[in-house]
Structure 1
């Protein structure tokens, strides 16, 4: 598997993953009715951010975006988001994207990384982040409407570099 910078030709496969993930309604706060035209500028980061893909044999298995969490006085803290195709889960794709994003943020000189809205029932992601030095700073109770579990919490997670 190769994690590399997003190329315009990747968009159709990236959009398929984004659409699949947001329509599942169980891990992302994005509007499940979001159109492709709305999703593209939201997912494809402009500099100083970056969007990447994890590929194998020309197939995009997952994607990530990263950059400053906030502009101006908050721009020294990075953030990142990750999406993996359902057919590629459990194969280390998310971990590879996560590792890339953290390494990128350190190399770019960010002071830390903050995740603003990690669904508390997304155990795979929460456990990956905790194993890699992130802390749950707080949880907003009932802030995410899960399709089968009802309202669940959203974690704010942080790791200082």
Structure 2
């Protein structure tokens, strides 16, 4: 059974253990690969972000943050960032967090959700977001420097709530 709850300061070590390898590989996030623990957690727990964790009997297996995608006239559109522990890949954690984020965003009055920069080579994420109702509404040609694949496209993905 997966429980998703708002993250607390005591969750910082678990969140760092999930996001550090993702940051270091540089394959799916635009965060600097050399980002420190302090910088990464400050980003994840930024005042404009509401951070969550997904936990099961083994502990915290995923995390995400929710925020307004833009300020002012764009503040009705939500944005999220998701991360799961590597061994939980394919076990429905990301899907559960996405569904939770959509429900939570709707309850906070957001009218849509947008992912600004989904890396084309992140096939699992692209397929999952599409199964969750997101459409690719734009392609940013060669916008991301992937450490193995070189310059690759990034997608803008969107869905109404």
The answer to whether TM tops 0.5 is: yes
CA RMSD of aligned residues (A): 1.2
> Which stretches in structure 2 are left out of the alignment for 5+ residues?
none
Q: Distance in 1 between matches of 2:121 and 2:77?
A: 25
Q: Distance in 2 between matches of 1:132 and 1:126?
A: 10
**Equivalences for residues 28-107 of structure 1 within 5 A:** 28-46=29-47, 49-57=49-57, 59-107=59-107
Q: Is this contact kept in 2: 1:120–1:152, CA < 8 A?
A: yes
SS of aligned partner of 1:27: coil
Q: How many residues align?
A: 160
1:69, distance to aligned residue in structure 2 (A): 0.5
Q: Is this contact kept in 2: 1:45–1:66, CA < 8 A?
A: no
1:135, distance to aligned residue in structure 2 (A): 1.1
Q: Distance in 1 between matches of 2:65 and 2:29?
A: 14
1:104, distance to aligned residue in structure 2 (A): 0.6
Write the deviation string for residues 12-54 of structure 1: whole angstroms up to 9, x where unpaired.
010111111111111111111000111112101435x411001
> Which stretches in structure 1 are left out of the alignment for 5+ residues?
none
What's the counterpart of residue 120 of structure 1? Answer: 120
1:58, distance to aligned residue in structure 2 (A): 5.5
Give the TM-score normalised by the residue count of structure 1: 0.94
Q: Distance in 2 between matches of 1:59 and 1:154?
A: 32
1:73, distance to aligned residue in structure 2 (A): 1.5
What's the counterpart of residue 3 of structure 2? Answer: 2
Write the deviation string for residues 110-161 of structure 1: whole angstroms up to 9, x where unpaired.
1100101100111111111111221111111111111221111110111012
Structure 1 runs, 4 residues or longer, greater than 2 Å off: none
Matched, 1:160 2:160: yes
